[in-house]
Structure 1
């Protein structure tokens, strides 16, 4: 009996996935899978198959059972592989922070290759049978658009982590495929990979609706989602690490999303943006059912220890120092008014919506990381969960939810694309293409001037100064949203940002200080390091071995 199964395992094929592709020798039909004949004849089952391509499966420890396109709210964020945060209890993140990446040890980044190619095969299978299904032409067209978008998203994840990748086209790999078929292992160039994914997104955008109406489920792909993904891809392509596209093309791709006229910046408060599903800034999101334990509650995973939280992804001082004063000046500017012994006053309002610091108001109390005796320090309850950096994460958390109850997770969305990213994409690409013209200022100042932020507008900058300003704006506006890891690499500045120690803050009581406390820098995680080969992840050793050495490893790694 042929069955449609998840293909777990190595390689771009299911060739090496022997444990998940064993034949069923029982005569009784299996109840944990769907027979091919059912999906080939039942359009509702096929629709469910397409919807389930928006999620993935657990491939290693500390992943959710349905991981989606990214980590989302589950355990360690991608930010904890950067200078934004560290994961308090490691969970396979420190190997990357400490520069120990190897083909046989990718830590928290170990499942991207397998998950992406598995999803690509699943999309290819659906595309191979869809024309034989009794669906209306219009609905079939939309489903093809969705599948092409999902497939392109997976290619994006491969490209931004490994560089040039194996392009499978519409091939549906099988166990019987010839291991010597070169098309299964030949990696395309970065330019070829991006060109392919971009053309697929153009096709998807032509098929997808602008709006998700009542008959077209929220959380599924739209024209805007396809164009937003293309905007990100072409921005990466033009960047120094990729050197595979033009800034003009990247600016045009972002402008295409802007010209839809559908999206705008959310004006209901920066922090509230991440708690409000389907608001006008969100282009593509993952939605969760409220009051379920479908994924780990962000409040529990990241909350301060005295409140019962695990103190998971804890912000670094490196990130805190990137926030400007509310007068628009960097804290390193002598005219900024910054006081290192009263460091949290008059900062960019997005700081207060993102990071919990000593003295921050929180759940009808205040955060106390000071020593001796601070309840959120390692002298408070549950000291094993006390922040190693002196900070806790506030962004994404809903204070209306219980921290200690795992049955109150899920109402807030996880946002993959939002309009602020598109404006930042446009500002960066246009500045690189022609310099800081009026449209660049308009894009970046709209973000800085959104309601509840109201940071001073930028003006009179050189191209180089605008480049610096845009990079800082991306760091602040998109903090903890899985951008920083890729931004510092594509700009080729990771050798500076990731070789800086992982700093935290030690807080003591000092009645003579204007804040009542003393603040001293400390190293929160020792051994932080970045090598030149780390601009790309290594392809997992298991994939190289399964190809009999035909799959080419990234430079700098020894198989």
Structure 2
């Protein structure tokens, strides 16, 4: 059998920027040996930095691997916020359409451009495995006169952290994969049986624990020279997310509940919450909510922060919301997403006690609604301070002749995204550099993980994790209160099922538009119920002097072919991988 790197051909190509230290000729020098590389602190750190480069595909990055370093940020056409129904695009897009109509063979085999979730995630995360193992093979041999013990531990911790990240991101999409813990050579036997998900999560947690042990700092927030590198809080956050995923129905035997895993998830979340109480580097940010996403260089909310340079809106930062932030080709929140926001006194809008009126729909809502959504009558600085959004005719100043239509410049649904976008930042008037940040993991998620895990582990919202001093209800209230929202209503805090509904709703509201909810629907195994053959809705806004607000709101259906079957709970392995690699134990996922 040919000895070939498991699914790592791309990794070997892409690894060139750090691997070439082993064989290239530097200016005015002889060829470097591998020993030379591991005696040069700058080169060792450059290999570690390659791990961070493996996460370029997150959120807005668009590239093909041949031009990986130069492509930069751009439109992410195959966007998980579209897959989940949080938003609808104004026009048909190949990769996204293929995913939503259930043709995932086309998504993984054909749509390689601007399709990070089905394409780049696979290649980049296997590259991270390769780079991590290369580091761990040599880092302990680096002499102390080259790197101090803390410096070696930083790189060693990063290698464990990114290997855990890689297997988490791969396994939640494609299922458990052989966990390679050694440097991979051409002669390495790669034909290994796929493990169970429980075996996979145990290896992921072990790597997270090693990262927690080795990383010298909690976080490098505001650090003069280490900004952008991860500390132990990031490893604790990943451990919490990975265990929460592993305990969920989609990843347990027979898709059932695993109380032991849920308890482990609760403890992992609690450990980070406890640490945050004495840390000035990580915690639940209680300042202005929008500052979480565009305060340079970030806030304590960023457990695993993502650092951007300040950019002008015409550089396509977060362009999937509005291209260039000027209303051209936007992704529009669905009415279903809007309906998840409670009333200001904590009732779901469908509850008889809510007092909600579909003809005065934007009054008396969860405070996050006003921070996350642009709706008819909301204020936004387009060309002057605090203009009123008229969603009948002009999202962000662009003249519309076909409201709710498919033309560029329109909102498909009557809404636009406000979250993550700084005020006074657009190409119409406020074309100035701003800092935009969207953490991979933030502290609110850890509180959500704790609330969910405790309720699932013990079947009681008033329970606590071992050693903890807050209940599941307390954790949910902490998230809500910091934005000025009321506590979870007592009607929902004594029953496991009712509280589960509120926790899941809270995930979708707090983390909307952060590329999170798609994976929650999958791990909960509710995606088929929520998405299969389901058309989402928008709202037509029609002038009507007799209506309470001067306009009439008419809900309408947006036909869009959507399919989600049981086989879609795992992504298919690419046909090219199955055909090229002589690894018979790498079996295809069920249904594909």
- Match status 1:498 vs 2:506: no
Q: Distance in 1 between matches of 2:364 and 2:515?
A: 27
Partner residue in 2 for 1:4: none
2: distance between equivalents of 1:19 and 1:96? 26
Partners in 2 of 1:10 and 1:74 — Cα distance? 31
1:212 to 215, 220, 242: 220
Aligned to 2:466: none
Choose 418-427 or 79-88, whichever is displaced more: 79-88
Residue number in structure 2 paired with 1:115? 124
Residue matched to 2:452:
428
In structure 1, which of residues 189, 200, 217 is the aligned counterpart of residue 196 of structure 2?
189
Which deviates more from structure 2 when the two are superposed, residues 400-409 or residues 95-104?
400-409
The question of 1:163 aligning with 2:175 is answered yes
**1:445–1:457 contact (8 Å) kept in structure 2:** yes
Correspondence for 2:588:
553
SS of 1:325's equivalent? Answer: coil
Larger relative contact order (Cα-Cα within 8 Å, sequence gap ≥ 6): 1
- Tell me which residue corresponds to 2:76: 75
Aligned 8 A contact 1:84 1:319 in 2: yes
Q: Which moved more, 1:209-218 or 1:496-505?
A: 209-218
**Cα distance in 2, alignment partners of residues 489 and 379 from structure 1:** 35
Q: Cα distance, 1:49 vs. partner?
A: 2.3
Q: 1:13 corresponds to which residue? A: 8
Cα deviation, 1:312-340, whole Å, max 9, x if unaligned, reads 33211111111111121111123212111
Give the gaps of 5 or more residues in structure 2: 464-470
Q: Deviations over 1:469-496 (max 9, x none)?
A: 1111111111111221111111111111
Q: Deviations over 1:420-446 (max 9, x none)?
A: 111111111111122111611111111
Preserved contact between residue 87 and residue 312 of structure 1 (Cα < 8 Å): yes
Contact 1:53/1:119 (8 A) holds in 2: yes
- Once the two structures are overlaid, the 10-residue window that deviates more, 211-220 or 493-502, is 211-220
Select which of 285, 297, 309 maps to 2:317.
Answer: 297
Match of 2:138 among 113, 125, 129: 129
Residues 1:92 and 2:91 are matched in the alignment: no
CA displacement at 1:502 relative to structure 2: 2.4
Among residues 257, 263, 269, which one is paired with 2:288 in the alignment? Answer: 269
**Distance across 1 between alignment mates of 2:13 and 2:210:** 34
2:230 to 216, 221, 228: 221
Among 267, 272, 293, which residue is 1:257 paired with? Answer: 272
Query: Where do 5+ consecutive residues of structure 1 fail to align?
Result: 1-8
Instruction: Pick the structure with more helix per residue.
Output: 2
Q: TM-score, normalised by structure 2?
A: 0.81
Matched-pair contact (CA < 8 Å) for 2:89–2:332: yes
Q: Secondary structure at the match of 1:326?
A: coil
Structure 2 counterparts to residues 348-359 of structure 1, below 5 A: 348-359=366-377
Give the distance between the partners of 2:563 and 2:369, measured in 1 at CA: 26
Q: Deviation at 1:251?
A: 0.7
Match of 1:466 among 490, 499, 503: 499
Residues of 1 paired with 2:444 and 2:11: CA distance? 42
The 1:125/1:405 distance shift into structure 2, 3 A limit, reads: farther
Distance 2:350 2:531 in 1: 20
Aligned to 2:484: 453
Residue 365 of structure 1: aligned partner? 387
Cα pair 1:356 1:394 within 8 Å, conserved:
yes
Structure-2 change in CA distance of 1:46 and 1:323 (3 Å):
same
> Please, which moves more after superposition, 388-397 or 497-506?
497-506
Contact persistence 1:270–1:453 (CA under 8 A): no
Contact 1:86–1:314 (Cα < 8 Å) also in 2: yes
Answer yes or no: is the 8 Å Cα contact 1:372–1:379 preserved in 2. Answer: no
Secondary structure of 1:445's match? helix
Alpha-carbon RMSD across the aligned residues, in angstroms, is 3.5
**What SS is found at the alignment partner of 2:538?**
strand
Per-residue deviation, 1:368: 2.4
1:389 is the counterpart of 2:422: no
Deviations 1:70-128 (A, max 9, x none): x9985344212212113334252121122221253567222221111012112222222
Once the two structures are TM-superposed, the CA of residue 289 in structure 1 deviates from its matched residue by 1.4
**Matches of 2:153 and 2:394 in 1, distance apart?**
64
- Paired position in structure 2 for 1:280: 300
SS of equivalent residue, structure 1 residue 492: coil
Partner of 1:526: 560
Give 1:384-423 correspondences, 5 Å limit: 384-403=408-427, 411-423=435-447
Three-state SS of the structure 2 residue aligned to 1:415 is coil
Distance 1:513 1:293, change over 3 A: closer
Instruction: Look up the match of 1:238.
Output: 247
TM-score by length of 1: 0.86
Per the alignment, do residues 426 and 522 of structure 1 end up closer, same or farther by CA in structure 2, a change over 3 Å counting?
same
Distance 1:521 1:529, change over 3 A: farther
| Cα deviation code 1:263-321 (max 9, x no counterpart) | 432121222221223312221111111136896222x542389x733343321111111
CA distance in 1, matches of 2:394, 2:156: 61
Contact 1:85 1:316 in 2 (8 A): yes
Q: How far off its partner does 1:406 sit?
A: 12
1: CA distance between counterparts of 2:315 and 2:568? Answer: 30
Q: 1:145 to 1:386 in 2, by over 3 A?
A: same
Matches for 1:29-48 after TM superposition, within 5 Å: 37=34, 39-48=37-46
Does 2:475 correspond to 1:443? yes
Name which of 332, 347, 357 aligns with 1:314.
332
CA contact under 8 A between 1:326 and 1:347: conserved in structure 2?
yes
1:376-414 deviation digits (Å, cap 9, x = unpaired): 645489942312222111110012323369985661222
1:342 aligns to 2:360 (yes or no): yes
